[in-house]
Amino acid sequence: MKSLDCNEVLERLWAFLDGEADEAQCQELQDHIARCLGCRHQADFEVRLRQVIQSKCRTDRAPQKLREDLRRLLSKSP
């Protein structure tokens, strides 16, 4: 089996990070990333970027009492 080149790794990186790659693909990507400093830096960047985006996109829930009050008020509306 031929090893992946950097372009192939970068094309498949998001599927790998999303857990959409099968076991063999994951192993190929991990092997390449372990050997290739450039791809390792890119993979690390993508992981950190994803973490920042997820942390900024989290929403706080309204307090339970407020949600109950809103449900009660909305249920009374015609």
Kindly report, residue by residue over 8-17, the tens digit of the pLDDT: 999 999 999 9
pTM, two decimal places: 0.66
Selection from 32, 30, 31 nearest residue 16 by Cα = 30
Kindly report, residue by residue over 28-76, the tens digit of the pLDDT: 999 999 999 999 999 999 999 999 998 888 777 888 999 899 999 888 8
Radius of gyration of the chain (CA): 22
Asked if residue 33 lies in contact with residue 5, where contact means CB atoms within 8 angstroms, the answer is: no
CATH architecture, range 6-76: Orthogonal Bundle (1.10)
The ranges assigned to domains in the chain are 6-76
